[in-house]
Amino acid sequence: MKLIGPFKQVVTLANLPLRGKLSDEQLEIIADGGILINNDKIQKVGNFEILKSENQNIEIETVEGEQIALPAFVDSHTHICFGGNRANDFAMRNAGKTYLEIAESGGGIWSSVQHTRGASEEELLKTLLERIDFLISLGITTIEVKSGYGLDVENELKMLRMIKKAQEQTKATLVPTCLSAHLKPRDFEGSNEEYLHYILSEILPKVKEEGLANRVDIFIEKSAFQPEESRNFLFKAKELGFEITVHADQFTPGSSRVAVETGAQSADHLEATIDEDIEFLAQSNTVATALPGASLGLGEKFTPARKLLDAGAILAIASDWNPGSAPMGNLITQASILATFEKLTTAEVLAGITFRSAFALGLEDRGRLVESFKADFVTFKTNNFQNVLYNQGSLKAESIYIDGKEN
Ligand SMILES: [Zn+2]
């Protein structure tokens, strides 16, 4: 066993409920704390000196200066496997050009599809690993990664295989998701329904066979897939043995209902969710995931996180890091900004980027510093954990521990 500390504060997130609003008084903050680790799991968190005296013959790892420790963060929604760059889309959008004008000048999701299809496996893997390393440097050790820029058998599998390869080269946990239903590709001859059938019959069986992902996502929106065809698709994906998740209510309401009714693990975006559907989500186990990076990238309103929490929903916060609408990738900055606009407590933000976002991925072994949980945590050189969100992402993480070892 190994004892790491002493930390000025260890914020454990123990005993916080999975759903609903949280007050900061509910946070367990252990002063002069230590984290006792058994192999890759947490054995105990408590006062450093007491843990030291209680446990003889253990390895002691002393931390330098004043530091605080938090559970490592979980980014439950990213698109970080991609080729190309869409800086010109960003500039055009800010210069007042419409979605259509941007698409006509060669931008939009289709441009990412072309660049991703055109990228070599080495190139895709290299840039994916660079983005993973950036996320780890922020203290994020569990990262969901979607396909969705291949949009045919060959290229969707290429993306998912590169995500699997990346997993062999990083200690972070990658959770792959098949998002072949991102939009119907321009070169597909047939209707939306025929494309969804193509995914179910041609792509998903191969994804299953190669063990490339056990989650399926769909973008339900006027410009992508419609609620009814999506509902059928999601039920069939479940029949094939996949967990499901949905890009819902980004610009138009209605699709978070489909997510709840099909038993999705999460409904992500929700910027346009109406009050009635907030209630519906709040009564389900479908995690409501806010993606403030997309609001910041597009200059659109934020997900109604306050209302969702007050209604009792399980609220997660994720980066949506992608080359088009959310190019920043800094979840800590984004979550801190969401907190200022939506008036979220520190406890609500920390829960949203740890155990609640882990739950959205079906992972209940991480995101809190409690006994038998995965020993993933992040430290910051400060004497007050509030500084992490107060500095809105500019306070750099000091050390990142994965499975009890410094990364
Ligand atoms: Zn997304």
Which residues, in sequence order, are bridge partners of residue 146?
Answer: 177
Q: Quickly tell me which residue has 């138009």 as its tokens.
A: 252
Please report the beta strands in 48-102, taking only residues with DSSP state E, as ranges in sequence order. Answer: 59-62, 68-71, 73-75
Distance 189 CA to ligand 1 centre (A): 25
Q: DSSP string spanning 171-217?
A: SSEEEEEEEEETS--TT--S-HHHHHHHIIIIIHHHHHHTT--SEEE
CA distance 315 to 300: 19
* Tokens representing residue 122 in the block: 């080495």
Neighbours of 202 (CB within 10 A): 13
Average pLDDT score over residue span 145-168 = 98
Confidence (pLDDT) at 103: 85
pLDDT, one tens digit per residue, over 220-263 is 999 999 999 999 999 999 999 999 999 999 999 999 999 999 99
d(CA 233, CA 371): 40
Q: Residue 45 is inside which H or E element, if any? A: strand 41-47
Find the 78 Cα to ligand 1 centroid distance in Å: 6
Neighbours of ion ligand 1 (CB under 5 A): 320
DSSP string for residues in 118-131: HS-HHHHHHHHHHH
Identify the pLDDT of residue 104.
87
Output the CA 79–ligand 1 centroid distance in Å: 6
Coil, strand, or helix at residue 286?
coil
What is the Å distance from ligand 1's center to 70 Cα? 26
Summarised one tens digit per residue, pLDDT across range 176-224 is: 999 999 999 999 999 999 999 999 999 999 999 999 999 999 999 999 9
At residue 100, the pLDDT reads 84
Task: Tell me the CA–centroid distance for residue 116 and ligand 1, in Å.
Answer: 16
What is the distance in A from the centroid of ligand 1 to the CA of 225? 14
Residue 317 belongs to what H/E stretch?
A: strand 315-317
Q: Is the pLDDT of residue 99 over 90?
A: no
Tokens 């390869």: give the residue: 165
Give the rounded distance of the alpha carbon of 29 from its chain centre: 25
Q: From ligand 1's centre to the CA of 214, what distance in Å?
A: 17
Check residue 271 and give its pLDDT. 98
- d(CA 146, ligand 1 centre) in Å: 8
pLDDT at 73: 99
- pLDDT at position 372 over 90: yes
Confidence at 272, pLDDT banded by 50, 70, 90: very high
**Closest CA relative to residue 269, chosen from 330, 191, 213, 338:** 338
Per-residue model confidence (pLDDT) at position 170: 98
Q: Could you tell me the distance, in angstroms and rounded to a whole number, from the CA of residue 370 to the centre of ligand 1?
A: 31
154: which 2 tokens?
Answer: 């060959």
Ligand 1 center from residue 35 Cα (angstroms)? 35
pLDDT computed for residue 328 by the predictor: 97
d(CA 405, ligand 1 centre) in Å? 31
| Residue tagged 């947490």 (tokens) | 42
How far away, in angstroms, is 44 Cα from ligand 1 center? 36
High-pLDDT (> 90) share of the chain, %? 98
Q: What's the burial of 324, exposed, middle or buried (CB within 10 Å: 0-12/13-18/19+)? A: buried
Say how many C-beta atoms besides its own lie within 10 A of residue 22's C-beta: 23
Exposure string over 250-281, b if 16+ CB within 10 A, otherwise e: beebbbbbbbbebebbbbbbbbbbeeebbebb
Query: Computed over its alpha carbons, how large is the radius of gyration of the chain?
Result: 21
Q: What is the pLDDT of residues 52-86, one digit of tens each?
A: 999 999 999 999 999 999 999 999 999 999 999 99
Q: What is the pTM of this model?
A: 0.98
- CA of residue 77 to ligand 1 center, whole Å: 6
Q: Residue 135 Cα, ligand 1 centroid: separation in angstroms?
A: 16
Q: How far is the CA of 169 from the centre of ligand 1 (A)?
A: 24
Q: Which residues contact 57 (CB under 8 A, 6 or more apart)?
A: none
Q: What is the pLDDT of residue 224?
A: 95
Confidence (pLDDT) at 270: 98
How far apart (Å, rounded) are the C-alpha atoms in residues 240 and 215?
A: 11
CB 157 within 8 A of CB 210: yes
Show Cβ contacts of residue 219 under 8 Å, excluding neighbours closer than 6 positions. Answer: 179, 181, 182, 183, 225, 247
User: How far is the centre of ligand 1, averaged over its atoms, from the C-alpha of 336 (Å)?
Assistant: 19
